[in-house]
Amino acid sequence: MTAPFPNLPPTPDTAIVWQSDSLYLLDQRDLPSVAKYLQLRSAAATANAIRDMVVRGAPAIGVTAAYGVVLAAREAFAENPTGWKQGIAARISRLRMSRPTASNLFWALGRMQQLIEQLSAERDPEAELLAEAVKIHERDVADNMRMGEMGAELIDGPTRVITHCNAGALATGGYGTALGVIRSAFARGSIHQVYADETRPWLQGSRLTAWELLQDGIPVTLLADGAAASLMSRGDIGWIIVGSDRIAANGDVANKIGTYGLAVAAKHHGVRVMVVAPTSTVDMQMASGQEIPIEVRGDDEVLGCGGKQIGADGAEVWNPVFDVTPAELVDVIVTEKGIVHSPTRKKLEKLITN
């Protein structure tokens, strides 16, 4: 009998929990007003949860998909204990199609797939696949802590920063990428004010980033996305600090829609741009950002807000949920393997092969 809830209080650092043979996800669609877990027992339910934004943020999607493969293995083995590899393949394909942009999804599934290839087709694979998923999860947290310290080293504060979307514990295995740097720098006293774009249409900034930072006692000031350039023009913003969904080989960065506009405004105002992402976000198969698949989501997300329609009936909608910031607008990419200043293909190749 599985527990209806994980035996944990819902916090940003416990947004993805494997407990009592189930995957539990803190439902990010309802945060911060409702903090409740969804229990997942199948790969299809996991794929749907990723698609529907129960869990979001590139590294968190990767970690979740890895646990989804464990559920896929259990289902496939129950169906056919001597031929589970066929049954798992279709389920992994479904996980792969859940969202198109986050590199970490494909990276995590690739790692699970590599292990599957080494396993016997006639033995229950669940325990070994679970151990690998836990490794992916734990590695992500450790990488984030490392990047947090490395990124914080770059900030000669005290200064103010702007972040976009949510690249925190909720978007990762824990601690966060951009918010990891902000956490570490705040602890050192080099950041004393954090501005968070509200991040339409899903409001990851006002709902999730603000919730996370306030729980850590880090004061946060929310602003409408359109206010960021004006804020930069006042001259007291040191850095834009963001995460990424996929970084191309030439250093172009795909991230939440609005990041490109922030980077253009930052260049104009002499504000530096820091992208914080593990190397599982770097996709050396994509020569440039133009090749990165950009997810376009439903019209309802732009027409509505908080479950209520606010846009004019009959208006057409364009809703790409990521954009690409060209490498020349990025001052620094912080990864767990090291820091790349003014990214280029050559520098990223050197970092990845190290």
- What six digits make up the tokens of 330? 């990025």
Query: In the complex with ligand MRU, which residue's Cβ is closer, 165 or 329?
Result: 165
Which stretch of DSSP H or E encloses residue 341? Answer: strand 338-341
* Contacts to ligand MRU from residues 18-77, by CB under 6 A: 56-59
Judged by CB under 6 A, which of 171, 213, 218, 332 binds ligand MRU?
171
SS3 content of the chain, % helix, strand, coil (to 5): 45, 20, 35
**Does 193 participate in binding ligand MRU (rule CB under 6 A)?**
no
* Contacts to ligand MRU from residues 285-344, by CB under 6 A: 321
Judged by CB under 6 A, which of 74, 137, 207, 256 binds ligand MRU?
256
Per-residue string for binding with ligand MRU, 124-163, x by CB under 6 A?
A: ----------------------------------------
**Does 201 participate in binding ligand MRU (rule CB under 6 A)?**
no
Which alpha helices (DSSP H) does 154-274 contain, by range?
A: 178-188, 210-215, 228-233, 259-269
Which among 13, 245, 323, 331 is annotated as catalytic? Answer: 245
Residue 275 bridge partners (DSSP): 242, 333
Contacts made by residues 340-349, CB under 8 angstroms, sequence distance 24+? 340/251, 343/247, 343/250, 343/251, 344/250, 344/251, 345/249, 345/250, 345/251, 347/251, 348/247, 348/249, 348/250, 348/251, 348/282, 348/284, 349/249, 349/284
**Does 280 participate in binding ligand MRU (rule CB under 6 A)?**
no
For this structure, is 21 an active site residue? Answer: no
Round to whole Å and give the CA distance between 156 and 76.
53
Q: Rounded to the nearest whole angstrom, what is the least distance from the CB of residue 208 to ligand MRU in the complex?
A: 8
Query: In the complex with ligand MRU, which residue's Cβ is closer, 85 or 177?
Result: 177
Query: Residue numbers of the site for ligand MRU (CB under 6 A)?
Result: 56-59, 102, 165, 167, 171-172, 177, 202, 204, 242-245, 255-256, 321
Q: Which residues are catalytic?
A: 245
